[in-house]
Structure 1
């Protein structure tokens, strides 16, 4: 099998070791990736540092055209890329194709935002001492970016690191997840087709145990990390003087109120508790239903969950495939078993087959069970009746996490109250918390992280304001 090169300062390279990528469902080999040596990692970081001034000075049209090229090429190779994602990640083709479409949009949005990336002016003669003075304000890169992307969206979450960096003229070193490096390496291939200068990007599939050297390297003053909370907060603690953006976990809640369309809510919650096999930080995990409609809703939810098509991710009809590994499925099973031992009831599901876990609904879950207070990251949801809006919102907020929440209601007053009171980074009215538009600000509160993604937001996050004052002007 051909070994896929990694990208070292914009050129393909081979290391001394290789990383074998296997399919989660059946273990067959999907591909092999070259692993950079420590000396090659040093070369990549040195190149990013050396090109930082040239990168910051790149004309906007050069950056925008590079980003538009990647968007165009991803669209042209969409089916190939989707099958690569399904191969290394195990997500069904249905969702892999959706991920590619989102990445196409992510790079397109970045190209559009780049062309709008401009300075502003501020008259200073509002004070007599500043007569004849005006300020020209721009945003400049803080420096090269270290992007660390996870396995669950191996293409689009890598895109959310790379695209805003290029947009603002910041070199980036991308470290993809070891389980799913191939999508990111293909992204490097498309970037290499552009006119970006050497050193502007590197894609380095280094093992996680070697990532600490990259995190601590002072030549990479920005760290953008998406992944588990313990790892993310450890990164922030290790480099307190760096600018660190963390997109971490969640245990996303959906609230179903009496005025909701119960059929619609059940279908949406069933699907988006289990899409990506629940391996999304905004997959529905906790469902709080007004007691007045709880029983009617539960019957609809059970029917919707049991109606999902599970199985082979290569099957066009499959909606729920395997988790990323058998070990991940075993952990989910252990958490469910623990909850059941503490008094929870399995309404449906609760079965494991290798790396696959059946879509599962739990009731009567104790508040301190892991499936209630931690991030399951698997196809499991818990449902609980609540008495009114006050109780529902209090239940949502009774969590260490605060990424997104969904509220099924037609009441505009309740919608604005949810936006004001729920301790989350985003509130979705009339739908599940799993909705994300790639151009919008996205991020969490509390243990769900710091900073925001979404192209314009990430571009601001990677930069800082710089002011030039012009003096003696006839304003």
Structure 2
């Protein structure tokens, strides 16, 4: 019999200990504002203490042999797999995802950890030919990679388990200590991940999950000189603020996008419609890869628009815990009102509302706009909500020009059967990834993931995160030239 997962006494994991505090933060279900649980509101003093404990944790982590890192990470994955249903329910309760979406996230988290364990064995260096330089014929050597120390991970609400795993798994695989500051509205999933690692036998002080308000503990974490790297996933404004404050640290950031998808006249229309509808409304559109701008060749614009609106209107919006539900609420009513304001501004300036545009509490219906004026915010900003924008374009050149006209560049998609046009898009689109005959909303956890322009710095994806979380050390032996 599978025992239900329990949050450890509504406590946070600080320096190897589960601790509570008098001041608590309520965690509420955005669907009905019901209270799910409460977690400690950590103080700045708590974070300072945590960092001091992590200094010892970094030494412990660096000394762990690779096989032990692998064993612990795999054991954590096993624990989550055994308790998959309970983890999925928590994801669906505290966030916006439906139970089907949450179950997929839990599966991905398990995969992320297993890949992390595998990549731990592949942190390799290579030999260096020192004799390439005249006068160095008697030198030989190599480089190897070593852990950087303490990593600060600041994670968002939209993938409250797997995005935490994308930071914790590589950090432990590489031999680092890591402090996680999860989103205030979705801390329970991160605590469950910490519970899995505690159950797996991760040494104390290597991992901390500190719950609290950003204004209270965020600056301490970001500015402390003992923190050697900040791994942040979130909004552009917050990311820029972190960069200004961080000081001399490694920084990895994924800051979102307003992803474009191009649909050419030779595309499989049904496949393109189904993929882009799913890509636009997955997790209520609160997805950094979510389809926002769709550029459709003029000759198929009418047919695509009709099919897209029809499929959108078939989306089932409602109770997140029901298997038949396609889309739940946004993370809170404030966010739903923000999306509503963006749509209303566009409509007031002349955009056509083809379907949707309705809000009830934190719920906002799947919405489709056309004829969007360039002078409205929704045309350039990240919506981070269930809204898709349809644009006609003359040809591929026009579509690429429009796709590149914004300040973001995370991922893109293109639907075409023409290999030359696909390669033109690959070469000319300013993005970190391009999906051919798929929407922008596609990712596997092993691939390099990140963007250009204001979409971020560096790359995630386990192998590539490990590169960011380690440094090369050069070793050179000068040999005696005596025979």
Q: Aligning the two structures, in what range does the TM-score lie when normalised by the shorter sequence?
A: over 0.9
Q: Distance in 2 between matches of 1:351 and 1:20?
A: 28
Q: How many angstroms apart in 1 are the aligned matches of 2:407 and 2:279?
A: 21
Q: 2:238 aligns with which of 231, 234, 239?
A: 231
Of 24, 33, 41, which residue of structure 2 is paired with 1:35?
A: 41
Partner of residue 120 from structure 2, selected from 106, 114, 118: 114
Q: Deviations over 1:237-290 (max 9, x none)?
A: 112421111110200111000111001100111111001000001110100000
2:289 counterpart of 1:282 = yes
Taking the aligned partners of 2:212 and 2:183, their CA distance within structure 1 comes to 8
Matched with 1:359 is: 366
- Contact 2:77/2:196 (<8 A) preserved: no
**In 2, Cα distance between equivalents of 1:321 and 1:473:** 71
Cα deviations across residues 189-231 of structure 1 (Å, max 9, x unaligned)? Answer: 1111233332101000120112111111111121111001000
CA shift at 1:80, angstroms?
0.4
Unaligned stretches of 5+ residues in structure 1: none
Structure 2 equivalent of residue 451 of structure 1? 458
Query: 1:384 maps to what in 2?
Result: 391
Contiguous gaps of at least 5 residues in structure 2: 1-5
The equivalent residue for 2:23 is 17
Q: By how many angstroms is 1:473 displaced?
A: 8.6
The reply on whether 1:142 has 2:136 as its aligned counterpart is no
Equivalent pair of 1:62/1:196 in contact (CA under 8 Å): no
What is the TM-score of this pair, normalised by structure 2?
Answer: 0.96
Q: Partner residue of 2:52? A: 46
TM-superposed CA distance for 1:18, in Å, is: 1.1
Q: 1:81-230 to 2 correspondence within 5 Å? A: 81-210=87-216, 211-230=218-237
Matching of residues 342-421 of structure 1 within 5 Å: 342-421=349-428
Structure 2 residue matching 1:465: 3-state secondary structure:
strand
For the residues of structure 1 that align with 2:95 and 2:109, how far apart are their CA atoms?
16
CA-to-partner distance for each residue in 1:316-357, whole Å, 9 max, x for gaps? 011111000011111111110000000001001111111111
Length-normalised TM-score, structure 1: 0.97
Q: Verify: 1:262 aligned to 2:234, yes or no.
A: no
Moved over 3 A (4+): none
* Number of aligned residues: 474
Residue 66 of structure 1 deviates from its aligned partner by: 1.1
CA deviation after TM superposition for structure 1 residue 65, in Å: 1.0
The CA deviation at 1:417 is: 1.6
Per-residue deviation, 1:128:
4.2
Contact 1:6 1:35 in 2 (8 A): no
Give the deviation of 1:130 after TM superposition: 2.1
8 Å contact from structure 1 (residues 62, 195) kept in 2: no
Deviation at 1:47, TM superposition (A): 1.0
RMSD: 1.5
